[in-house]
Amino acid sequence: MEITVEGAEADKTRSSGDAHVVTPHYFRATGIPVLQGQEFSEQFRDDRPLELIVSESFARRFWPNEDPIGKRFRPGTNNPIGTVVGIVGDVRIIDRQEEQLPAFYLPYGYIGMPGLVVAVRTVGPPETFTTALRNQVRQIDAEQPVYNVRTMDQFIANATAQQRLQASLSSIFSVVALLLVAVGIYGVVAYWVRQRRREIGVRIALGAGVTDILKMVILQGMRNVLLGLIFGLIGSFALTRWIGSSVFGLSVNDPFTFVLVALLVFGVAFVACYIPAWRATKVSPSTALRNE
């Protein structure tokens, strides 16, 4: 809804925000904290001035260094100017993939709504209160339908189903890619060991110990792995802007994640190199030379 802020800076005088229509005690029922002032204390009446409640980001945007309580703005173009009576915490709209607009709340009754979504806070498992809720509504109006009853967990699960599917698929692809890395490195190092079997046999015959053989083979395999990790990290940092749209609300420049993934790949590659390296230490010098 378009808003006109009284006494704001020129670039903030006319703006817009997410408008919500709520009844008294809505914030208490949904657990949205009232940070300053008060929530709507009673149903709106025509003989009272319009009261408004704004979100924390709304107050920070339009009155950054002032007390927002008592400030005034006009919601919409045909409504009277309302007065801010409370500030509440920001609420993320879970099915929206961009930054939310500053939000404000109008009292129900001032704007007529064709239907209501009733929020009920329970002291036990919410699934067990469906029948009781229907009975309460039936006592008020026997013809009033109650439908689409869902818990908050179910509501969030439905709204984030696509994102969770994408995350699950990404995790599966990541595990498959990691397995391919392990198999590929193991195959390359094992082939390299087989090709240099005679050399390894000669080294053992000349007195090379197990540690020497392990070090030689593992360093040979890990050299390319380290080079790949360096180029991979550079490519990951370069692509963060592109992948940022699919992980909205999360930082794509998280050093901990980059380090953790690099260490994981390094560990898998080390194991893949260690197995053929350990087998190389079992090469019999006489057998290797005789085969040649």
pLDDT digits (tens, 9 = 90+) for 109-150: 787 777 788 889 988 888 888 888 889 999 999 988 888 888
Pair 84, 200 in one domain: no
Given 95, 119, 143, the domain boundary residue is 119
At residue 105, the pLDDT reads 94
pLDDT tens, position by position, 241-259: 666 655 555 566 677 878 8
Pair 105, 204 in one domain: no
> Is residue 43, in this structure, part of any structural domain at all?
yes
Three-state DSSP at 50 gives: coil
What is the CB-side half-sphere exposure of residue 54 using CA atoms within 13 A? 27
At residue 35, the pLDDT reads 93
pLDDT tens, position by position, 198-237: 777 777 777 778 888 888 888 888 888 888 888 888 888 7
Q: Give how many domains the chain has, as a whole number.
A: 2
**Helix 197-205 crosses helix 161-195 at what angle (to 10 degrees)?**
60
Pair 193, 105 in one domain: no
Given 65, 97, 119, the domain boundary residue is 119
Three-state DSSP at 217 gives: helix
Pair 177, 262 in one domain: yes
Q: Give the separation between CA 223 and CA 283, rounded to whole angstroms.
A: 23
pLDDT tens, position by position, 36-74: 998 887 776 776 788 999 999 999 988 888 899 999 998
Determine which helix (DSSP H) or strand (DSSP E) holds 76, and give its type and residue range. Answer: none
Pair 98, 164 in one domain: no
At residue 169, the pLDDT reads 92
Mean of pLDDT over the chain: 83
Q: Give the separation between CA 158 and CA 230, rounded to whole angstroms.
A: 39
CB neighbours of residue 280 within 10 Å: 25
181 Cβ contact partners less than 8 Å away, ≥ 6 residues apart: 265, 268, 269, 272
The alpha carbon of 113 is separated from its chain's Cα centroid by a whole number of angstroms, namely 33
100, 56 contact by CB (below 8 A):
no
Pair 114, 189 in one domain: no
> Is residue 146, in this structure, part of any structural domain at all?
no
Please state whether beta strands 18-22 and 34-37 pair in parallel, antiparallel, or not at all (unpaired): unpaired
> Is residue 151, in this structure, part of any structural domain at all?
no
- Quick one: pLDDT band at residue 194, thresholds 50, 70, 90? confident
Would the pLDDT of 17 be above 60?
A: yes
Q: Give the separation between CA 144 and CA 118, rounded to whole angstroms.
A: 13
Largest CA distance in the chain: 106
Given 87, 119, 151, the domain boundary residue is 119
> Is residue 287, in this structure, part of any structural domain at all?
yes
Pair 166, 275 in one domain: yes
At residue 197, the pLDDT reads 76
Q: Which amino acid does the sequence have at 10?
A: A
- Domain range for 63 is 2-119
Q: Which amino acid does the sequence have at 156?
A: I
Pair 164, 287 in one domain: yes
Q: Give the separation between CA 256 and CA 148, rounded to whole angstroms.
A: 42
